[in-house]
Amino acid sequence: MTFPARRPRRLRRTPAMRRLVAETRLHPADFILPAFVREGITEPQPISSMPGVVQHTEESILDAAEQARDLGLGGLMLFGIPASRDSSGSAGLDPEGILNRTITAVKHRVGEDLPVMSDLCLDEFTDHGHCGVLDELGEVDNDATLELYAQMGVVQAEAGADVVAPSGMMDGQVAVIRQALDEAGHYDVPILAYAAKYASAFYGPFREAVDSQLQGDRRQYQMDAPNRTEALREVGADLAEGADMVMVKPGLAYLDIVSDVAEVSDVPVSAYHVSGEYAMIEAAAANGWIDRRSVVLEAMTSLRRAGAQNVLTYHAAEIAGWLRED
């Protein structure tokens, strides 16, 4: 019998054969670990909606950073949670604020062996929870916010951040931050732009993680879920303004956007496997409905296959451990 002449199953026959012809491979350096540091706590605080994830103390984050370095992760993305907030998010601009002093402490611990990235946004630091300052009508003032982002970028670079990551989706944010960094002599600090960040319901657990004060939503500045072409305009603008890397957020629910962006971007593309996507996997696994490890690795493979060079995920350390075992 000669039919069928083509038998793709030949290349799927054994694990070794499948490994030989795999088109997408995972490596620890593909993954960036987001981590939360909370001012004023003495023990790591579990985040109920994100099992296995904690708000770190200023001491425990150093151990987490050391582990990330030793596992060969691609980077550590830091988020700071201050003890007090105000309308302008001044704690985020304070060189001695929780985020900036954590950047310095982590860099002292890991040196050049692990890229330390910093979230450049005001939402964790404002008493209203928005990503910028508000005008008299209670809406986010884009241009007034840009002035603060510029200052924030310089402060984070001076604290030792290897990468600054503006996530507020303000128009013009990359250009303003790039100019401020260059004028301050930080020519070598790259910008990872949250270029296509959607106003997503998948961010719910993150709000608990950063003790968000937000009332309402961020739809006036984050992207609307039905829009696809708009993402390419946003990415194009950030590239034109000098972004060194661009990000799509969320990841799994926006694989088409990841793919579209990867097609047009001439800089590395990141995808954020966000808190809600993480929480759904954890909840299903806890109920025995899925094989946790297999689903996590399949999800990461899908993001990489779609075109993301690296993935921010709360599973990063575990994934690196599994890959080392294999």
For the stretch 178-229, pLDDT in tens is 999 999 999 999 999 999 999 999 998 888 887 778 777 888 889 999 999 9
CA distance 34 to 118: 9
CA distance 159 to 175: 21
Distance (Å) of CA 307 to CA 6, 23, 40, 180? 28, 12, 40, 31
Give the chain's mean pLDDT: 95
Which amino acid is located at 53 in the chain? Answer: V
Of the residues 56, 186, 197, 315, only one is catalytic, namely: 197
pTM of the model: 0.95
Q: Could you tell me which residues come within 8 angstroms of residue 143 by beta carbon, excluding any fewer than 6 positions away?
A: 172
Angle, CA 233 vertex, CA 231 and CA 238 arms, to 5°? 95
Q: Which two tokens stand for residue 192?
A: 């990872």
pLDDT at 95: 96
Examine the residue annotation and report whether 107 is marked as an active-site residue of this protein: no
Examine the residue annotation and report whether 197 is marked as an active-site residue of this protein: yes
Helix axis angle, 142-159 relative to 173-183, nearest 10°?
40
Percent of the chain at pLDDT exceeding 70: 100
pLDDT at 207: 81
pLDDT at 170: 94
- Please classify residue 168 by burial: count the beta carbons closer than 10 Å to its beta carbon, then call 0-12 exposed, 13-18 middle and 19+ buried: buried
Which amino acid is located at 131 in the chain? Answer: C
CA distance 210 to 134: 20
Of the residues 56, 85, 249, 315, only one is catalytic, namely: 249
What's the rounded mean pLDDT across residues 242-248?
98
Distance (Å) of CA 72 to CA 31, 66, 106, 247, 268? 9, 10, 16, 21, 19
pLDDT at 29: 98
**Terminal alpha carbon distance of the chain:** 39
pLDDT at 1: 63
pLDDT digits (tens, 9 = 90+) for 128-172: 988 899 999 989 999 999 999 999 999 999 999 999 999 999 999
